[in-house]
């Protein structure tokens, strides 16, 4: 499934507090690019809030939004992680981690109460975050001979491509990324160069 041309992400970490019948729900949102970053954020939060009752979270990654996970961290099944994830989905966000840290206030909220509280806490922190439109990038690898160097560089410049890596020692190989909406035009230009090998790698 090809992703859309763009999606929404958050610019920088955000936090917000929600109080519900004595319990305090601290919402934290992080822009993330990998599961490694997610693990690091979770470890840091647990160190900062060691006495909290629960650290519930959900995340979604990738331009196609197909990688996601939700965790209830000891709350009743689907009463915490899933509501947080639904807030992420409803706001069309990706490359984001939302953690809701709960300090129990002594009053049981019940499953429905928990679902509403965690969803409200997630939406609350999203409201406090700076959300922006992030364009999907297509990553390519192009291999070419020296005689086509000027043509290749001209096509990259015309399409505002950003070079990620280049290697001129063992053949001429450039890895680059370009906005998805410009990819078809760029591919057509490269197809005019018969000695150039262009390969799509992934979406970012």
Summarised one tens digit per residue, pLDDT across range 26-70 is 999 999 999 999 999 999 999 999 999 999 999 999 888 889 999
pTM above 0.85, yes or no: no
Closest CA to 104 of 175, 54, 37: 54
Give the model's pLDDT for residue 4.
82
| pLDDT of 200 strictly over 60 | yes
CA dist 120 and 84 (Å) reads 8
Query: Where does CATH 3.30.230.30 sit in the chain?
Result: 6-133
CB of 165 closer than 8 Å to CB of 40 = no
pLDDT of amino acid 149: 94
**Candidate CATH numbers 3.10.310.30, 3.40.630.10, 3.30.70.240, 3.40.50.720; the one for domain 136-203:** 3.30.70.240
Tell me how far apart the alpha carbons of residues 5 and 1 are, in angstroms, rounded to a whole number.
Answer: 13
Q: Give the phi and the psi of residue 146 in degrees, each rounded to 5.
A: -60, -30
Query: Is the predicted pLDDT of residue 123 greater than 70, yes or no?
Result: yes
pLDDT at 124 over 80: yes
Q: Which CATH superfamily is domain 6-133 in?
A: Impact, N-terminal domain (3.30.230.30)
Compute the C-alpha angle 14/110/56, nearest 5°: 30
What's the gap between Cα 40 and its chain centre? 15
Burial class of residue 60 (count of CB atoms within 10 Å of its CB; 0-12, 13-18, 19+): buried
Residue 171 reports pLDDT greater than 90: no
């Amino acid at each position: 499934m090809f992703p859309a041309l763009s999606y929404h992400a958050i610019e920088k970490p955000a936090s917000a507090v929600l109080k519900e019948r004595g319990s305090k729900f601290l919402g934290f949102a992080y822009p993330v690019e990998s599961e490694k970053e997610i693990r690091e954020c979770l470890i840091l939060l647990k160190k900062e809030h060691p006495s909290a009752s629960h650290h519930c979270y959900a995340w979604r990654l990738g331009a196609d939004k197909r990688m996601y996970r939700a965790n209830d961290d000891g709350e009743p099944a689907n009463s915490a992680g899933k509501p947080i994830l639904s807030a992420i989905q409803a706001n069309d966000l990706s490359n984001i981690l939302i953690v809701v840290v709960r300090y129990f206030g002594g009053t049981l909220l019940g499953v429905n109460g928990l679902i509403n509280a965690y969803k409200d806490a997630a939406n609350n922190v999203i409201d406090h975050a700076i959300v922006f439109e992030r364009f999907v990038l297509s990553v390519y690898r192009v291999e070419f001979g020296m005689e086509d160097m000027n043509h290749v560089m001209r096509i990259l410049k015309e399409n505002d491509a950003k070079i990620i890596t280049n290697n001129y020692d063992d053949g001429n190989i450039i890895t680059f990324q370009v906005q998805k909406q410009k990819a078809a035009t760029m591919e057509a230009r490269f197809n005019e160069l018969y000695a150039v090998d262009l390969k799509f790698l992934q979406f970012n």
